């Protein structure tokens, strides 16, 4: 078992869906999180740079507006871009003689522990309280004396379909108290060529990232007859659902046995397995979805290219 073992066996049920579907969070084990970090620096992968531009320009404003004493981040990963926000909040807390808590929340224990260690070293005045949790399950935030800010950055909201988003926003609203805030980063609909290139880079890093899920599957479910090299990476735009879909296509007949489940996987050559969706948004429609959950828009910012949006909403 890996650190992704919470509910692993139950989550595996979708392997036998039609089409077979893998839990997206399995992409983010230690190696997957490192590969994703590499993706964020690829020339084709614009979202991280755009969001960073927005956060660099508005973090101080966000710290001022929310005046939060606790910042929680869902899907914090390596917490690279969180640093921009943290710096602004830490500076404000120091100026006001207050303490600041940062709660990184992630599904991977290795990733979380390492990020917490590095952040504690770099932000000695910030109280870093990592939380191992899966944001696809009920959410809970630690209490604080002042307003709390929950963040969900990077466009990871795109991993949910419409039903999943409604559910997630409802769980966010339930976890917040009046006076708390939610900061959401989302990627916007744009030219299909640019979108597909961002998920099918020339260097093949995204392909390695996608295929790494086969390794997670193999080791965590004790599989035999299952090899990452037996799959091709596919990134495809789905116009109806306005989302990029990542698939793995079997290059040969796959006959795998999962000892942990005592079940087999027979995938005829050419079978496609869905590993991740990355939904792209329209600012107005996204604001409407948040409003439906009782989350009221306070402000929203886009980058200079109009590629990405960061929205601040309150309960
Ligand atoms: C981490 C979910 C925001 O959807 O753009 C990047 C994941 N997958 N390249 C995204 C991802 C392939 C990324 N998120």
Which distant-in-sequence residues (6+ apart) come within 8 Å of 34 by Cβ? none
- pLDDT by 10s per residue, the chain, length 315: 454 555 677 789 999 999 999 999 899 888 998 999 999 999 999 999 999 999 999 999 999 999 999 999 998 776 677 899 999 999 999 999 999 999 999 888 888 999 999 999 999 999 999 999 888 788 889 999 999 999 999 999 999 999 999 999 999 999 999 999 999 999 999 999 999 999 999 999 999 999 999 999 999 999 999 999 999 999 999 999 999 999 999 999 999 999 999 999 999 999 999 999 999 999 999 999 999 999 999 999 999 999 999 999 999
Contact 139, 169 (CB under 8 A): no
Pocket test of ligand 1: the residue of 33, 43, 155 to mutate, having most ligand atoms within 8 Å of its CB, is 155
Instruction: Give the residue, by CA position, lying nearest to ligand 1 atom 3.
Output: 156
Ligand 1 pocket test: pick from 22, 49, 74, 154 the residue with the most ligand atoms within 8 Å of its Cβ: 154
DSSP codes, 265-292? EEE-TT-EEEEEEEE-B-HHHHHHHHHH
How would you label 200-215 residue by residue, b for 16+ Cβ within 10 Å and e otherwise?
A: bbeeebbbbbbbbbbb
Looking up tokens 């926003």 gives 169
Ligand 1 atom with least separation from CA of 244: 4
Is the beta carbon of 212 within 6 A of some atom in ligand 1? no
Ligand 1 centre from 163 Cα, in Å? 19
Please tell me if the CB atom of residue 199 comes closer than 6 angstroms to any atom of ligand 1.
yes
Nearest CA to ligand 1 atom 9: 199
Task: Give the integer Cα–Cα distance in Å for 185 and 312.
Answer: 9
Long-range Cβ contact pairs of 36-42 (< 8 A, separation 24 or more):
36/77, 36/209, 37/77, 37/78, 37/80, 38/205, 38/209, 39/201, 39/205, 39/206, 39/209, 40/80, 42/201, 42/203, 42/205, 42/206
Residue 19: is the preceding peptide bond cis (ω within 30°)? yes
Per-residue model confidence (pLDDT) at position 10 = 79
Separation of CA 286 and ligand 1 centre (Å): 18
Query: Complex ipTM, two decimals?
Result: 0.99
Nearest residue by C-alpha to atom 8 in ligand 1: 199
Is the CB of 135 inside a 6 Å radius of any atom of ligand 1?
no
Ligand 1 atom 4: residue of nearest CA: 278
Q: What is the model's pLDDT at position 110? A: 86
Q: CA 204, CA 194: separation in Å to the nearest integer?
A: 16
pLDDT of residue 3: 44
Alpha-carbon distances, residue 175 vs 172, 208, 238, 270 (angstroms): 5, 36, 32, 43
Which residue's C-alpha comes closest to atom 10 of ligand 1?
278
* The pLDDT of residue 170: 96
Regarding the beta carbon of 287 and ligand 1, being less than 6 Å apart is answered no
Q: How far is the CA of 181 from the centre of ligand 1 (A)?
A: 24
Give CA angle at 155 (153, 158), nearest 5°. Answer: 135
Nearest to 106 by CA among 140, 135, 83: 135
Task: Work out which ligand 1 atom sits closest to the CA atom of 158.
Answer: 4
């Amino acid at each position: 078992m890996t650190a992704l073992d919470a509910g692993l066996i139950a989550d595996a049920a979708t392997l036998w869906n039609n089409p077979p579907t893998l839990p997206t969070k399995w992409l983010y084990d230690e190696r997957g999180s490192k590969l994703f970090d590499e993706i964020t620096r690829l020339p084709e992968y614009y979202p991280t740079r755009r969001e960073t531009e927005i956060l660099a320009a508005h973090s101080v404003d966000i710290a001022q507006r929310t005046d939060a004493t606790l910042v929680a981040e869902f899907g914090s990963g390596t917490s690279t871009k969180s640093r921009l926000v943290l710096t602004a909040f830490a500076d404000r807390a120091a100026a006001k003689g207050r303490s600041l808590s940062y709660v990184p929340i992630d599904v991977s224990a290795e990733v979380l522990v390492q990020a917490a260690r590095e952040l504690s070293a770099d932000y000695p005045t910030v109280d870093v309280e990592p939380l191992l949790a899966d944001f696809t399950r009920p959410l809970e935030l630690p209490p604080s004396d002042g307003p709390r800010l929950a963040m969900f950055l990077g466009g990871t909201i795109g991993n949910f379909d419409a039903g999943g988003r409604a559910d997630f926003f409802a769980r966010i609203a339930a976890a917040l108290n009046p006076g708390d805030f939610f900061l959401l980063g989302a990627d916007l609909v744009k030219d299909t060529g640019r979108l597909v290139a961002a998920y099918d880079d020339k260097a093949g890093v995204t392909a390695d990232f996608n295929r790494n899920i086969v390794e997670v599957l193999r080791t965590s479910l004790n599989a035999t007859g299952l090899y990452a090299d037996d799959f091709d990476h596919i990134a495809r735009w789905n116009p109806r659902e306005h989302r990029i879909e990542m698939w793995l296509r079997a290059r040969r007949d796959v006959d795998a046995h999962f000892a942990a489940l005592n079940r087999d996987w027979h995938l005829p050559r050419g079978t496609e397995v869905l590993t991740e969706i990355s939904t792209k948004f329209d600012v107005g429609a996204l604001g409407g979805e948040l409003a439906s959950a009782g989350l009221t828009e306070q402000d929203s910012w886009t980058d200079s290219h109009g590629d990405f949006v960061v929205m601040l909403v309150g309960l």
